[in-house]
Amino acid sequence: MLRSSILLIALFTLISASTVKAQGLNFGIRAGLNYGTFLGNETPEEDYNLASGFHFGINVGYEINDLFFLRGEILYTQQGTGYDYNGDGYYIFNVPTDNRFVIQDSTNLSLEISNAYVSFPLTAHVSALEKWEFHAGGYVSFLVSPIGAGTWRFGSRENPDHLFEQGLNYSYRGDGPGEINNFANEILLIADGQNASVPSLVGAYYLFQEDRGSLINRIDYGLTGGVSYFLNRGLYVGLKGWYGLKDVTNNNVDYSYRRLNPDGSFIFSDDFDRNLNIDISLGFKF
């Protein structure tokens, strides 16, 4: 009886092992650097440029045959852009008070945006030339932490009375309208003959009087693909591209820095900003 049980257990183990092998399941990890930007309909005064970040994640592959397999992944990834505005613009002074007023002058705004996502790419892979692997597929990403940092320089030497530089410390999901950073000092000016105050450090929606939501949308999705080169049976270096199919920015919050409406309200954008990202990684397949 005992011998029969042992034989049955051994047979079950062999069948299970053969099944797992036939299924060709494998697991892996990878980590590395990101370089990304937004693609959008910029005005002549605007410019998107590259920003850097990092990524790391785990994945599981399902081998269909020796040349073709599918891979799913859970990835933490930082994507974003550098943003510059340089040209004619405006600033709203005395924002926290009823004595708000607007001045037009030269505006130079520089901002680094970093959006942290948990991403779920699903890709089809083809092995070729023994050490090379090519893949393509799609992804969906969920926003975890969108932040930005930079400076806003306003005014010109021709009008030094309202010339100032303001720090930007943005938490796109945490900041509220009119929010000032806790560590901000007050910059006192006389602009166009009027007393004016400007905080030295502000949040993402400081100029707003009402909550209009977050600038960065919570979900992104798109296409992805790339190539990997295996240094040995498990270790590889990879290059992967991401092309977003969804507007990253919320048009109800994305306003023009150049001018306001005649009634003093913001002019909001209806453009389409998509994620474009390249990651370089070192990975291992078990």
Residue range 73-130, pLDDT digits in tens:
999 999 999 999 999 999 999 887 788 899 999 999 999 999 999 999 999 999 887 8
5 vs 8: CA distance, rounded Å: 5
164 vs 152: CA distance, rounded Å: 8
Among 46, 54, 51, 47, which Cα is nearest to 36's?
Answer: 51
Query: Which pLDDT belongs to residue 162?
Result: 86
Give CA angle at 123 (117, 124), nearest 5°: 175
- Mean pLDDT, the chain, rounded, equals 89
pTM of the model: 0.86
Q: Is 45 left (phi over 0), alpha (psi -120 to 50) or beta?
A: alpha
Q: Compute the half-sphere exposure of residue 177: CA atoms within 13 Å on the CB side of its CA.
A: 9
Task: Write out the E strands in 64-182.
Answer: 68-93, 101-128, 132-156, 159-171
267 vs 247: CA distance, rounded Å: 18
pLDDT band at 23 (very low <50, low <70, confident <90, very high): low
Chain-centroid distance, C-alpha 285: 27
- Please name the residue ranges forming H helices in the chain: 2-23
